[in-house]
Amino acid sequence: MTVRPPLAMLAELTHRCPLSCPYCSNPLDLARKETELSTEEWAGAFRQAADLGVLHLHLSGGEPASRRDLEELVATARGAGLYTNLITSGIGLTERRLRALDEAGLDHVQLSLQGTDAAMADRIGGYRGGFDRKMQVAGWIAEIGFPLTLNAVVHRQNLHQLPEALDMAVRMGARRIEVAIVQFHGWAMQNRAALMPTRAQAEEARRIVEEARKRLLGTLVIDFVPADYHEDFPKSCMGGWGSTGLNIAPDGTVLPCHAAQTIPHLSFDSVRDRPLREIWYNGAAFNAYRGYDWMPEPCRSCDRKQIDHGGCRCQALALAGDAGATDPVCARSPRHAELRAKADAFAAGSDETLTYRSFAPAEPA
């Protein structure tokens, strides 16, 4: 197959974050501050990415504002010709920092939403005062004039707030909102019983989004990530493994997707040791699931393989014990019925106890 250059790169600048969201997709084994790439190393990676053909750079984490050199990193990325998008909880951003980011050339901000009021948002994010702070940051974002996208992660405990989240996005002047029903990777796997929506909730969320899309046409764009476990077909994970995007973890490990390190037989390269171009085209992990040759049946002869690429490899490993298997979310997978039953059992639970993300995995916050 012909491998094209990547369009987007996600730079996970740090795993440090003041929040402790129980659905955080970061790995259980978080990268410590001492292992993070330096300012110069990130700058080198951004220049290499631009040379490789990357157009969009997503600056994420953890909380990217935990990096004191964020403004410098944005300026370097912008100087390399990359479109820069900051994905943030807002915590750690002051008006002064936002104005400095504007001067550095930041193009776009994505602000996460854990709930639509302080009681919900602070409980889910595990950070008292976080909601009020976020609202203040949203005000500065509007004042400066950054184009804004809201990221609302919804689940069994806050799905009733979805209509209000859509109204909030309009009031805040956001151009776009991503309504993502929680996906179960990383820390979120530990919280499936507390967060899994019921099938009825998942269907109601879709109905609310479809109604709002018509009502808010021309005002707000709404992206929707459905409840994976209740679907009949899987997501097109990363638009196809090694086809459109790549991630760099805080320590410089280059990944075909955010959760790829959960697949134990893959070996990954670091930007510290090998040029990004070589990693993209020749890296073992990138070539492991590229194209269609690796596919088992029923994917190999399926009419949808170019649409969803067989689903998510990390999810296939987590749910089927084999990263090369058909994603069990797919109704054509022999494991689909088992997954459905599991999803309904998780959703029927009444235990709302959350295991918060922390640097010490065994201890709930």
Residue numbers 182-241 binding ligand SF4 by CB under 6 A: 233-234
311 near ligand SF4, judged by CB under 6 A: yes
In the complex, the smallest distance separating the C-beta of residue 233 from ligand SF4, rounded to whole angstroms, is 5
Piece of the chain touching ligand SF4 by CB under 6 A; list 15-23, 51-59, 174-182, 205-213: 15-23
Piece of the chain touching ligand SF4 by CB under 6 A; list 16-24, 139-147, 163-171, 254-262: 16-24
Q: How far apart are CA 102 and CA 255, in angstroms?
A: 29
Residue 24 or 285 having the CB closest to ligand SF4: 24
76 near ligand SF4, judged by CB under 6 A: no
Q: In this structure, is the dihedral angle defined by the CA atoms of residues 260, 262, 267 and 270, taken in order, positive or negative? A: positive
CB atoms within 10 A of CB 231: 18
Piece of the chain touching ligand SF4 by CB under 6 A; list 203-211, 214-222, 248-256, 301-309: 301-309
Piece of the chain touching ligand SF4 by CB under 6 A; list 201-209, 260-268, 274-282, 305-313: 305-313
Q: How far apart are CA 235 and CA 314, in angstroms?
A: 12
6 near ligand SF4, judged by CB under 6 A: no
Q: How far apart are CA 329 and CA 310, in angstroms?
A: 10
Burial class from Cβ neighbours inside 10 Å (0-12, 13-18, 19+) for residue 99 reads: middle
Residue 158 or 326 having the CB closest to ligand SF4: 326
294 near ligand SF4, judged by CB under 6 A: no
CB 87 within 8 A of CB 38: no
Residue numbers 112-171 binding ligand SF4 by CB under 6 A: 112
In the complex, the smallest distance separating the C-beta of residue 15 from ligand SF4, rounded to whole angstroms, is 8
Residue 126 or 256 having the CB closest to ligand SF4: 126
Assign 3-class secondary structure to the chain: CCCCCCCEEEEECCCCCCCCCCCCCCCCCCCCHHHCCCHHHHHHHHHHHHHHCCCEEEEECCCHHHCCCHHHHHHHHHHCCCEEEEEECCCCCCHHHHHHHHHHCCCEEEEEECCCCHHHHHHHHCCCCHHHHHHHHHHHHHHHCCCEEEEEEECCCCHHHHHHHHHHHHHCCCCEEEEEECCCCHHHHHHHHHHCCCHHHHHHHHHHHHHHHHHCCCCCEEEEECCHHHCCCCCCHHHCCCCCEEEECCCCEEECCCCHHHCCCCCCCECCCCCHHHHHHHCHHHHHCCCCCCCCCCCCCCCCHHHHCCCCHHHHHHHHCCCCCCCCCCCCCCCHHHHHHHHHHHHHCCCCCCCCCCCCCCCCC
In the complex, the smallest distance separating the C-beta of residue 47 from ligand SF4, rounded to whole angstroms, is 26
Binding map of ligand SF4 across residues 55-74, x = CB under 6 A, - = no contact = ------xxx-----------
In the complex, the smallest distance separating the C-beta of residue 33 from ligand SF4, rounded to whole angstroms, is 15
In the complex, the smallest distance separating the C-beta of residue 216 from ligand SF4, rounded to whole angstroms, is 26
304 near ligand SF4, judged by CB under 6 A: yes
Query: Site for ligand SF4 (CB under 6 A): which residue of 59, 299, 312, 347?
Result: 299
With CB under 6 A as the rule, give the number of residues binding ligand SF4: 26
Residue 234 or 252 having the CB closest to ligand SF4: 234
In the complex, the smallest distance separating the C-beta of residue 268 from ligand SF4, rounded to whole angstroms, is 21
Piece of the chain touching ligand SF4 by CB under 6 A; list 69-77, 203-211, 266-274, 324-332: 324-332
Q: How remote is the C-alpha of 28 from its chain's centroid?
A: 15
Piece of the chain touching ligand SF4 by CB under 6 A; list 172-180, 191-199, 308-316, 342-350: 308-316
In the complex, the smallest distance separating the C-beta of residue 228 from ligand SF4, rounded to whole angstroms, is 12
- In the complex, the residues that contact ligand SF4 under the rule CB under 6 A are 17, 19-21, 24, 26, 61-63, 89, 112, 233-234, 298-299, 302, 304-305, 308, 310-311, 326-327, 330, 332, 357
